[in-house]
Amino acid sequence: MSEQIQQEFKSIVFQLQDEEYAIPVQQVGSIERMQHITRVPQTAEFVKGVINLRGVITPIIDLRKRFEMDAAEFTDSTRIIIVYMNELEVGLIVDAAYDVIDIPTEQVEPTPEVIGTVNVDYIEGVAKIDSRLLILLDMEKVLATDEIEQLKSIEG
């Protein structure tokens, strides 16, 4: 039994466009409904702005924009997933978040060369569970700030 626990990890599953993505549950603080976002000028395009998350100013990233996908209208199922990563606290806008799933480590495979529209860099691997294909995100790369700096200097 204990062996099995070690070989699985819990993940939050969310949807973006037509694909399903997964983030380890340890990195997730909470899942919030859409709310008013205050725009922050002169930041990277995918930075949607900031929200008041129970007294803490939290930056919000539009994950579709981050992955260079087509923009979509926010709907009732749109969620903000608050993730924590090396001192960073960031909210990700996703189309829907509905599942917590145990992913057996052995099911994780390295990224195939071409997959969807997402830049392969952000992907840690894929896991096939039953008939679902989950894309595991490398949050560190998704939230890499040096890239933001670069973007800024290009804009400036």
Partner 1 sequence: MNEYLEVFIEESKEHIQALNDNLLVLEKNPTDIGMVNEIFRSAHTLKGMSATMGYQDLANLTHKLENVLDAVRNNQLKVSSEMLDVVFEAVDHLEEMVMDIASGGEGKRNVETVVTKLQAIEAGEDISNASSTQKEVVPSSTQSGSELSSSLDEFELAVLKESEEKNFNIFELNVSLREDCMLKAARVYMVFEILEQEGEVIKSNPLVQDLEEENFEQSFSVLLVSKTDAEVLRQKVLKVSEIEEVLVQPFSLADISAKQQAPQTSSTNGTPTSNESATNNASSSAKESGNVKIGNKTIRVNIDRLDALMNLFEELVIDRGRLEQISLNLKHNELQETVERMSRISGDLQNIILNMRMVPIDQVFNRFPRMVRQLAKDLGKQINLEIIGAETELDRTVIDEIGDPLVHLIRNSLDHGVETPETRTAKGKPAEGSLTLKAYHSGNHVFIEITDDGAGINKEKVINKAISNGIIKEEQASSLTDQQVFELIMASGFSTADKISDVSGRGVGLDVVKNTIESLGGTITIESEQDKGSVFSIQLPLTLSIISVLLVEVQKEKYAVPLSSIIETVVVHKDDIMQAHKKSVIDFRGKVVPLIPLEHVFQVPEQLKQDDYYSIVIVRKGEKMAGLIVDSFIGQQEVVLKSLGEYLSDVFAISGATILGDGQVALIIDSNALVK
Quote the DSSP letter at residue 111. Answer: P
Count the Cβ atoms, other than its own, within 10 Å of residue 23. Answer: 23
Among 8, 19, 89, 147, contact with partner 1 (rule: CB under 8 A): 89
- How many residues bind partner 1 (CB under 8 A)? The answer is 27
d(CA 126, CA 135): 5
- Minimum distance, C-beta of residue 55 to partner 1, in the bound complex (Å): 7
Among 7, 26, 30, 52, contact with partner 1 (rule: CB under 8 A): 52
- Minimum distance, C-beta of residue 144 to partner 1, in the bound complex (Å): 10
Site for partner 1 in 95-134 (CB under 8 A): none
CB closer to partner 1 out of 41 and 110: 41
Among 80, 90, 137, 139, contact with partner 1 (rule: CB under 8 A): 90
d(CA 103, CA 21): 12
Among 25, 30, 56, 72, contact with partner 1 (rule: CB under 8 A): 56
- Give Cβ neighbours of residue 150 (< 8 Å, ≥ 6 apart): none
What distance, in Å, lies between the first and last C-alpha atoms of the chain? 55
d(CA 92, CA 83): 7
Q: Is 78 a residue that touches partner 1 (CB under 8 A)?
A: no
Site for partner 1 in 57-76 (CB under 8 A): 57-59
